[in-house]
Chains A and B, each alone.
Chain A
Amino acid sequence: DQQVKQNSPSLSVQEGRISILNCDYTNSMFDYFLWYKKYPAEGPTFLISISSIKDKNEDGRFTVFLNKSAKHLSLHIVPSQPGDSAVYFCAASGGGGADGLTFGKGTHLIIQP
């Protein structure tokens, strides 16, 4: 049973526009959420995180929104740049740190020039 779901395997966005990546989770024990970015042949790179006590966290061009009632989070990238083309993973943690991070299967973001 997938506890963290990224339903869009890929997303294509024009350079300069907003990219919105979505993630849903089922485990109500999750209380900390993270986004990672991965280029081919490299390990995932931490991007941004949010605690369940917040509904928004911003860092430069990246903003993560959390809707606890809907068990949904999203990552907004504004404006999108060619270097943003990568696979983005949503991850969640909770239950006192048990079971490490639970990852979604990723969304491949392609920024079109």
Chain B
Amino acid sequence: KAGVTQTPRYLIKTRGQQVTLSCSPISGHRSVSWYQQTPGQGLQFLFEYFSETQRNKGNFPGRFSGRQFSNSRSEMNVSTLELGDSALYLCASSIQTSSYEQYFGPGTRLTVT
């Protein structure tokens, strides 16, 4: 089976812009979760989508949003980018909810200048 794929792998944006990141889960996986990884905070949960519905949300501002399509592919959007949004954004998929083993993609490295 193909693993979790994320596009793009690297992205450079300017403060105030918005960005959309894409994630394709493992075939058959219906749950997609997004995480932000920074050197200071480690891996932090952003949100989880299951069957096109947001199931859980972490402690992030409303500038961070996402959606899931009927084929389980997911997108994450960050509006009005801030310098502190520079991070590695990881997508993970699992068969069931985010409580169980999750399989991560390689991540999208976002740099905000």
B68 to chain A, nearest CB (A): 15
A46 to chain B, nearest CB (A): 5
A19 to chain B, nearest CB (A): 20
Segment of B11-19, B40-48, B75-83 engaged in the interface with chain A? B40-48
> Are A43 and B101 within 8 A (Cβ)?
no
Segment of A58-66, A72-80, A95-103 engaged in the interface with chain B? A95-103
A residues 50-101 near B (Cβ < 8 Å) are 89, 91, 93-94, 97-101
B66 within 8 A of A: no
B98 within 8 A of A: yes
Interface size on B, residues (CB 8 A): 25
Q: Which residues of the partner chain A approach B90 to less than 8 Å between Cβ atoms?
A: 43-44
The B contact surface, by secondary structure, is: strand
B residues 54-107 near A (Cβ < 8 Å) are 55-56, 58, 90, 92, 97-107
B21 within 8 A of A: no
> Are A100 and B58 within 8 A (Cβ)?
yes
A102 to chain B, nearest CB (A): 7
> Are A97 and B107 within 8 A (Cβ)?
no
Closest to A103 in B: B43
B residues 1-40 near A (Cβ < 8 Å) are 4, 33, 35
Give 26 A-B contacts (CB < 8 Å), ordered by A residue. Answer: A32-B100, A34-B101, A42-B107, A43-B4, A43-B92, A43-B104, A43-B106, A43-B107, A44-B104, A46-B103, A49-B101, A89-B42, A93-B99, A93-B100, A97-B55, A97-B97, A97-B98, A97-B99, A100-B33, A100-B45, A100-B47, A100-B58, A102-B45, A103-B35, A103-B44, A106-B42
